[in-house]
Chains A and B, each alone.
Chain A
């Protein structure tokens, strides 16, 4: 467990910045990667966004005032970078965000870096239909096993609001899976 306050001090000191940054990357790269990956879906895109995230962290660390946890701050940057990435892609393609997310998921079946079965693919499709906040809350709570308070610090939303978002997200996913599993079973039978 790293001493966050000491690490921030080293990051904000020009003499020790690079050494401290290496520690930061080592400590947080995997957690941030998987958070980003669940949003942007593709490995190559997640790699780009993760790099942009760390570069922003490196450039912005001098202005970090420690009014939140370092990890919450980095997670927030990663989230914003991921959303910006998707928005940019959608603008380039002249489609809306929901359509863009669904398009990203539709490519999963042929993606070499996806190993899920049919039902796991349907789950990803279900998650892609959720509004942005519900999707983020669902990913963080269900896949990342984060506590509501941690999510609240990152998304700047009340715990009560998050619980409501998660509840609605899970209900929607359940409905989506039931409907599409039925179609899947019908397809298999025929």
Chain B
């Protein structure tokens, strides 16, 4: 403690003696910013200006529960997938599989494949496609995402239904 200036404005603790208190880094700068923000926030509108239909929240639960419930006799909405690449890929698999069984010769020319697809693309029914894709949950498919051909081929190859599809193929048309 300094003498003679104990009660003056210049009095202060000796530099050797600290209060022991510390503050977080940038604390005082933060106070200025917070004060500035508070002033601006005071002037901004605070009301919720968005409205909703009166019974919206009451009815919401029911809508969602209906959507998550498993549906009996699942109807596959084929409009959700792009049919052309799907049908074409199935046609290729059936063609390949059928020719393999008939000729035991997996070596097919690309012309044979293209020709067969061109002729038979319209004979692949929606039911055939639905049966081939029983393992895929169409509700999970984002309608804006195209299914990759590789994924379809892999699914069919691993499917138990591939034999069914090959048996049902129009063998006479191929011959």
Contact = CB atoms under 8 A, between A and B. Distances in A.
A158 interface: no
Interface in B1-55: 30, 33, 37, 40-41, 43-45, 47-53
Contact of B144 (A55, A88, A115): A88
B64 interface: yes
Nearest to A30: B57
B127 interface: no
A50 B65 CA distance: 13
Given A43-B50, A88-B144, A29 B45 contact: no
Given A55-B68, A167-B33, A22 B61 contact: yes
A114 to B, nearest CB: 6
A51 B64 contact: yes
A186 B66 CA distance: 53
B125 to A, nearest CB: 30
B31 to A, nearest CB: 12
Nearest to A124: B49
B37 A170 contact: yes
A58 B140 CA distance: 12
B49 A116 contact: yes
Interface size of A as a range: 35 or more
Contacts of B47: 116, 120
A29 B60 CA distance: 8
A3 B43 CA distance: 39
Contact of B60 (A25, A116, A124, A171): A25
Given A51-B67, A58-B68, A115-B49, A142 B41 contact: yes
7 contacts: A25-B65, A26-B61, A38-B50, A43-B52, A51-B64, A58-B68, A120-B45
Interface of B: 30, 33, 37, 40-41, 43-45, 47-53, 56-57, 60-61, 63-65, 67-69, 140, 144
The 7 closest A-B pairs by CB, nearest first: A116-B49, A120-B45, A113-B51, A120-B49, A174-B40, A58-B68, A54-B64
